[in-house]
Amino acid sequence: MTSEYKISQTAPNIDDAGDAARPLLESAQMALGFVPEMYRHMAKASGILSTYMHGYEQFRENSGLKPDEQEVVFLTISRENGCGYCMGAHSMLANKVSGVPEGTLKALRDGSEIPDERLAALSHFTRVMFRTRGMPVKDDVVDFLDAGFEETHILQIILALAVKTLSNYSNHLNQPELDEAFAGHKWQS
């Protein structure tokens, strides 16, 4: 799903990025070995890229969720938002880096039932938070906690929602091409 409107401003490269965006793009280049198209497009408004990168790092490093659980959260949100770019990127990470089981990744991509109970509970609660705009009913919270999660994970899901809202909405309007690194995991809603 993409917006009818596409932002026409050219995405900067490291060399022609403004003073606020250049160090962010350089940091991505050093960490990843390339600058994802999404980052280049987010650099059109350096505050978006800066906030995204900081929040993403905080979630990855401090969420208390394992890498496979983090991908479940990111993929659930990106699917809810219909973001093909993030579905492709996080599918590759889920498959090649984070150890998401194949059946779980397939279910996240096609919207079917997740075979792992804990990961299913995490995805379900993430959807609840998305769909209720952060106002889950008590039974949803109790079910989430009964699945082995903690209240702090609820707050971490809010952080993931914020980060993915930045990237998903930015991608809807900027329509970046999926990087070659993620191309094998292309997704369409």
pLDDT confidence tier of residue 189, bands split at 50, 70 and 90: confident
Dihedral over alpha carbons 107, 152, 99, 104 (to 10 degrees): -10
Tens of pLDDT, residue by residue over 61-117, are 999 999 999 999 999 999 999 999 999 999 999 999 999 999 999 999 999 999 999
DSSP letters for 73-104: HHHHHHHHHT-HHHHHHHHHHHHHTS---HHH
What is the sign, positive or negative, of the torsion defined by CA atoms of 95, 100, 104, 108? negative
The domain locations on the chain are 66-185
Over the chain, what is the mean pLDDT?
97
Q: What are phi and psi of 33, to 5 degrees?
A: 85, -5
Q: Which two tokens stand for residue 140?
A: 């949803």
Architecture of domain 66-185: Up-down Bundle (1.20)
What is the sign, positive or negative, of the torsion defined by CA atoms of 165, 170, 173, 174? negative
Tens of pLDDT, residue by residue over 1-56, are 678 999 999 999 999 999 999 999 999 999 999 999 999 999 999 999 999 999 99
Question: Quick check: helix, strand or coil at residue 179?
Answer: coil
| Angle subtended at Cα 176 by Cα 7 and Cα 74, rounded to the nearest 5 degrees | 115
Q: What is the pTM of this model?
A: 0.97
Tens of pLDDT, residue by residue over 106-124, are 999 999 999 999 999 999 9
